[in-house]
Every structure is written in C-alpha cells, then in structure tokens.
Amino acid sequence: MKCLVTGATGLIGQALTQRLVDPIVTSRRPEGLSPMSCIQWPVTDTTPGPDDPIDVVFHLAGEPVAGSRWTQARMDAIRNSRIDGTRQLVSWMATWETTPKVLVCASAIGFYGDRGDEVLLEDSQPGSSFLADVCRDWESEAARARDLGIRVVFARIGIVLAEQGGALDKMVPPFKMGVGGPLGSGRQWMSWIHLDDVVGLLLHAAESDISGPLNTVAPQPSTNAEFSRVLAGQLRRPSFLRAPAFALRLGLGKMSDIVLASQNVLPRVAEETGYVFQQPTLEGAIQSCLSGKGGRP
C-alpha cells in the first residue's frame, strides 16, 4: 500500500508514518525530513504529482486547535488551513496521472458540538459551534474527492491520549502538583482514544471498505469527573479541586469549548467493521501512556 501523508510531522502523523513503508509526506518545512520523500505544503495544481501511483492519502494537516487562545486570527487559521488545504489537496489529486483509491481525511468529534448525554453515532446530526462548523465544512471539501472516484473516509477523531504530546501533556501537570480535578460540572462526556488506536483505525479505514464518517474514539467514553478520578488515581494524587466553568471561560475564552463541550461518542462503524481496539479501557490507556517511554509519573 503506497501512501501519502499530509501533516506527517504532527502527533498522529509521526505515529502513522512509522507504520507505513516508504510513505510520501508533505510539510510546510520539508527540509530535514529525508529519507522520506517530502513535498512542499500547501500544494497547488502545478505541484508535480507523486512519481509512483498512490493507493491511500491520509490528510492530517491543520493549524493546532488546542494551545494558544482562540483569537480571530487563530480561528481563521484553524478554519482556513483545513478548508482551503483540503480543497487544494483534492484539486491537486485531480491532476495526478493515477488517482488514489482512498482519501482518509481527519475530522474531529467537535463535529457533534455540545450534546449533553446524547449518544452520538456516525449518523448523528452535526452540532452548532465554531468547531462543528469547521468539521462539517472540512468534511464537505474532502467529500468532493468522490467525484474523482475516490473512496472518502472522515475520521472523526476524539481526544488523543499519547505517551508524549496530546491531551495528557496539558492534563498531567496540574494533577502532579496536586491541584487537578474535574473541569466545570465534570458531567461532560470525554470521548478519548489512545494514539495506537488512532493509527489502527486510520489504517483500518484505508484497508476496509468504509466510506463516510468513522468515529475514531474508544468504545468507553467517560465523564470528565471519571477521567479526572482515573488520572489522579494512577498518579496517586488527589482530584478534588474543581475548576469552575466560568473561570475556564474567562481564562480560555471560546477555546473553553474544547474542555467543556459534552460529546458521548461511540465507534459504531469501527466495531461493525471488525476493528479490535488495542486500548479499549480508560484505565489501560492512561496506564500505557504514563508508563511508556515518556515516563510521566
């Protein structure tokens, strides 16, 4: 399976490319990425296509969503890097001598917005929020690849847990200092997934005949309070200091959506198509991240 990966230098892209044989990657900074073949991102219609036919394109590139405060400029970058980037990718693929068989495009559970306790499956309606709008439009751009005869999968990725990087990088320090605890009411659902399963599901999406949305989440979402309890337990620290929602909104602005929105998402398509999770439980996933090479505790 010959693959091209955009956003290959990111958290998910690095883990994915390690599982691929001689992938072609794209980057805004291609220098220093050898021995992998690297193409300058963003691509245009005049960017030469890959030398050899590509079977699968994994599209992961995009301005990071978490991190610094959502100013208008950052929100524009989050949106434009995905919508314009995906449009340009599809337009570039149309110029290739041989079109790929599959486009696996990242999306996010932000697609569903803030939905309380509602169980969210792949056919649930989109929510209404900045991220929901971005995800919906991002998927629409990717769907245009169907006109080229390409099978398209939207991997609606949940909160990624990894040894290094990802959500735990931000969550562990306050717990280690003994000031961790639930965020807001703690009742909001967190649909998490271990990085190994993100990669596993992206490969599953490429190799199966899935078409359309693929909830890329573990089968056991947890509430934020439960997540905090498990994390604190494994770090052997308390978890009673609740961060009130108003303080989070004040401190993080609109970005507080990321930690306060409730998304109870289940991986129905993954399970129906026979994917076996490597880290199905929260306890196991957190333990694997904390005891890995990163050695967080």
Q: Site for ligand NAP (CB under 6 A): which residue of 61, 103, 202, 285?
A: 61
Smallest gap from residue 279 Cβ to ligand NAP (A): 14
**CB closer to ligand NAP out of 150 and 159:** 159
For residues 87 and 45, is the Cβ–Cβ distance under 8 A? no
Q: Site for ligand NAP (CB under 6 A): which residue of 57, 103, 160, 266?
A: 160
Name the residue with tokens 């991986």.
267
- 11-19, 120-128, 226-234, 245-253 -> range binding ligand NAP (CB under 6 A): 11-19
Size of the site for ligand NAP (CB under 6 A): 26
Q: Site for ligand NAP (CB under 6 A): which residue of 113, 127, 166, 180?
A: 166
Q: Is residue 64 close enough to count as binding ligand NAP by CB under 6 A?
A: yes
Q: Is residue 108 close enough to count as binding ligand NAP by CB under 6 A?
A: yes
Q: Site for ligand NAP (CB under 6 A): which residue of 20, 39, 41, 58?
A: 41
**CB closer to ligand NAP out of 237 and 257:** 257
Footprint of ligand NAP on this chain (CB under 6 A)? 7, 9-13, 27-29, 41, 60-65, 77, 81, 85, 106, 108, 157, 159-160, 166-167
